[in-house]
Each structure stands twice: as structure tokens, then as C-alpha cells.
Amino acid sequence: MAAGPITQVADIVVPAIFTGYVQQLTEEKSRLIQSGALVRSPLLDQLLAGGGITFNVPSFRDLDNDADRVSTDTAVDDFTGGTARPDPFKIETDTEIAVRLSRNGSWSSADLAAALAGEDPMDAIAGRVAEYWRRRLQLVFVAVVTGVVADNTANDSGDYTNDISGASYLPGVTDFSAEAFIDATLTMGDSMEDTGMIMVHSVVYARMKKNNLIDFIPDARGEVQIPTFHGREVIVDDGMPVATNVYDSWLFGAGAVQLGVGTPKVPTEIEREAGGGNGGGQEILYSRQEWTMHPEGHAYTGAAALGGPTNAVLDDAASWNRVYPDRKQIKFARLVTREA
């Protein structure tokens, strides 16, 4: 019996449709976006649509606590030495700097073959590519925040951090606890309630569960049980910084990190490789992304090569500088613990 026709990647992937579908699925799958810690920014989207590797993002500071004046009915008469006109207060500005991240990935149709059995091929391919970009987006997020923390430790007295790790492990002293968590939020002063998400390593998450600190709530569809702690969503990621049983846990407020998404010249492309498969032929799917991921209140000060920095550059202290003058304006806190 003759074999039926073979469905190829090019037969089912319409680039213009596929690109939007992958982007939508990536954002739907991202717990960082769903929790609000990473927020899509129309301004950053717009900046990515233009040229340049880095983008200046001016912002206004809050009004200073200048002493108010007591009103009177005394006339102003500068010519005869009467009451002088009071100087008005001023509002100051800061300049944040964001950086373009041009990334791409490619897959041969052979890699996707197993995913095509028993389900819609378009959904299978898009789902795999979207899941890949979700993971890569999360790795960029970790790299950016690691760099911001390194800068804060080096240049701002580490005022984002509550470090209880000590020199050696002591149960109930150096490991994760509600008290240590609250002390970490206290680094934000009276903005301590502005965090809505905590990101932890799986080892820390296990400690939280052992101490019966985790509650579960259903998502909007009632399909997934989302772990929470003190009303904050918990995101577990083994990409979190760890060194010799010392673990970072990060707390974020809504919009602590802004995400811009641009459109590459050719976001999705399919290449036919006649020599692939030892001459049997091969198709390769290319997916390209334009991002900027910007921690609010900071300026990117690192290298700005074409295509943007690698994750290894993003996580360096020299790549970031806090421009907001008030620590409480930064909706982020860090807890460092030592676990068994």
C-alpha cells in the first residue's frame, strides 16, 4: 500500500499567524507575567520599533517633602522691600536606560516529529516553541535581577537584602521562615505590603512546604493550583542564585520589571535544506525575538554590542545602576537563607 502524503512544517506554519500565536502562548504560560511582577510596557514596545541598542526612559521623581508655608494676606512688593515672593518647589527627573535583546532559536522538523503524532501539528509546534521562549524569558529575568542585586550590594549598601544565612546551617535560624520574610519586606519601609510575588529555588520551596507555609488557590479556570505564601504567588525556579547551600529568594511588587516586545524584520522563517538527513531533505524553523527587560528605577550601564548583551553580561554588577533616589520606590526585596 502506498504511503500517504507527508505533512511538512512549511505546510502548516504560516509565519505571520505563527508569530502572533507563539507570542500569545508565551505570555499566557509565563507565571512571571500572570503574577504581575513582569508587566508588558507599551512605551518599551514603541522604543523597540525604532532603532538603537539602548533607550533613555525619563521619569519624574515624587515631590520632595518641602516644608509647606503658612498663608497670609501680606502683599508682595519687591520694589519697596516688602514681602518677597516665595520660591516655588521643584520636581526632579531621573533617566532610566533600557537595552535591546535580540534573540533567536531554530529547530529542524526531525526534532518536532514526535510532537506531531495524535494532535494538531500547528498546536504542537507552536506549543513547543512558546514553551522554549517562556523558559528563555525567565532566564533573562533571573539574569537581570541578579545584576541589579549585584549592583545594589556593591554600590547601595545592599539595602534590598535581608541576609540570615550565617556561617553555618542552624535549623529555624538560617533557613526560610515567615519572620525572615517579613524582615525582608521591611527593607522597603512603609511600602512593605507592595509585593505580590516571591520567587524561590525548589530547595527553599521544599522548606516552605515542610514548615506548612504554603497555601494553594485555583487559577482563573480552576485548572491549576497556584502556590501562595502570605498572599503572594510563589514561583519556583532552579535558576535562582545558589552557592554552597545559600539561596536567594526574591520578592516583587506589580510592575517591578517592565517587558517590551518588538518585531524582528523576519520573526518566523522556514528553510529547506536539501542536504539534510544525508540527502533526504530537512526543514528548519527559525524563531526570532526582540525584547527589552527593564527593572524599574535602574539604568543599564553595561556593554551594548549589536544584538544586545548576553545573560552573562546582564547579571553583572557593572551593567546596572539605581537611579531612583529612594529605596522605597523600588518594589523589590531579597531574602538570603542557608538551607540544609
Over residues 183-192, the pLDDT tens digits come to: 999 999 999 9
Cβ contact 154:147 at 8 Å: no
The tens digit of pLDDT for each residue in 133-157 reads 999 999 999 999 999 999 999 999 9
Cβ contact 102:288 at 8 Å: yes
The tens digit of pLDDT for each residue in 249-300 reads 999 999 999 999 999 999 999 998 887 777 777 888 999 999 999 999 999 9
Average pLDDT over residues 28-52: 93
Helix, strand or coil for residue 244? coil
Q: For residue 70, what pLDDT is reported?
A: 78
- For the cut 80, the answer to whether the pLDDT of residue 227 exceeds it is yes
- 167 confidence band (pLDDT: 50, 70, 90): very high
Whole-model pTM: value is 0.86
State the DSSP code for 74: P
12-45: burial string, b at 16+ Cβ within 10 Å, e else: bbebeebbebbbebbbebbbbbbbebbbebeebb
Q: For residue 123, what pLDDT is reported?
A: 82
Average pLDDT, the chain: 88
Element (H, E) at 232: strand 232-236
Average pLDDT over residues 67-95: 69
Q: For residue 3, what pLDDT is reported?
A: 45
C-alpha 32: how far from its chain's center?
Answer: 7
Q: For residue 106, what pLDDT is reported?
A: 93
- For the cut 90, the answer to whether the pLDDT of residue 239 exceeds it is yes
